[in-house]
Amino acid sequence: MGESLHPTAVVDPKALLGAGVRIGAYTIVGPEVALEEGVEVGHHVVLEGRVRVGAGSRIGHGSVVGAPPQDLKWKEGTPSGVRIGRGTTLREYATVHRATRPDGWTSIGDHCLLMSMCHVAHDCRLGEGVIVINYAGITGHCEIDEYATVGGLTGVHPFSRIGAYAYVGGCSKVVADVPPYTTVDGAPALARGINVVGLRRGGIGAADRRLLQAAFRILYRSGLAPRTGVERIRDELPATPYIVRLLQFIEASKRGICGPPRTGAAVPDDAPDSEGERVF
């Protein structure tokens, strides 16, 4: 099946279009764009610079992908771009900017969902299955690991990292690294517990979830400094892949990790979930 291009779309002859590509009205596709099979591009979209979009992805009306970075250090003509994985959806008016470094890429993984009006800045890397909810702003050089969720109207500080399966609540201000598997919320974002719902949906078993909850209690409720908490977790808990990844993330942090709730702040009750584990 050949591509379907609206007659008002402006598609450069050098652009590479796979089988079954659909491009809507008044959309502009530049010469360095490559769209794999089955990609759908809505109306009034701009794809400029080096843009690679994986098979089956969808780009919503009014989105802009590959625009120059909003970085004063960037030089016009720098050969950089945006990579979008397979089966990823950008909803209406989402923006993704190209990288700042020569041959650098802003990267969005497979099966991600960027909801309407959200922004992913230059040099960011989003892993598989990441969800960015409406109006969130991911600033430059951020890394978001697989299956993490960033809530609506959230701002993320440059060079921050958000770990796998983490959940950032809406309207948060992320100024430090968010450990994997945790839920954070607030301005600044503070750690509230383990993302039990997200872990269960991701197929992570009850035994591993309980170990992560035990690690969270040591890290955030024992009064220990993060480095001391890491050592205690290593001494007291088995080195499962999830625990090892949590500790490696914390030890590699350059910005530090999100802190615990302030003294006197409300903390969710230790109510058991449907499988008998404790939710914090």
At 141, the amino acid letter reads H
C-alpha pair distances (Å), 44 with each of 26, 33, 63, 137, 265: 5, 16, 7, 22, 46
Q: Catalytic residue among 44, 97, 111, 122, which? A: 122
CA neighbor of 128 nearest in space, from 150, 113, 141: 113
Q: Can you give 181-213 as a three-state secondary structure string?
A: CEEEECCCCEEEEECHHHHHHCCCCHHHHHHHH
Token couple for 104: 């650098």
d(CA 151, CA 242): 23
Task: Output b/e per residue, 159-195; b: 16+ Cβ within 10 A.
Answer: ebbbbbbbbbbebbebebbbbbbbbbbbeebbbbbbb
Q: How many helices, marked H, and strands, marked E, lie in the chain? A: 4, 30
Q: Catalytic residue among 140, 151, 155, 163, which? A: 140
**What H or E segment, with its residue span, contains residue 242?**
helix 241-252
Determine whether 170 is an active site residue. no
Q: Catalytic residue among 44, 60, 109, 123, which? A: 123
d(CA 113, CA 106): 16
Determine whether 97 is an active site residue. no
Contact 55, 36 (CB under 8 A): yes
CA neighbor of 237 nearest in space, from 263, 192, 257, 207: 207
Determine whether 122 is an active site residue. yes
- Catalytic residues, by residue number, are 122-123, 140
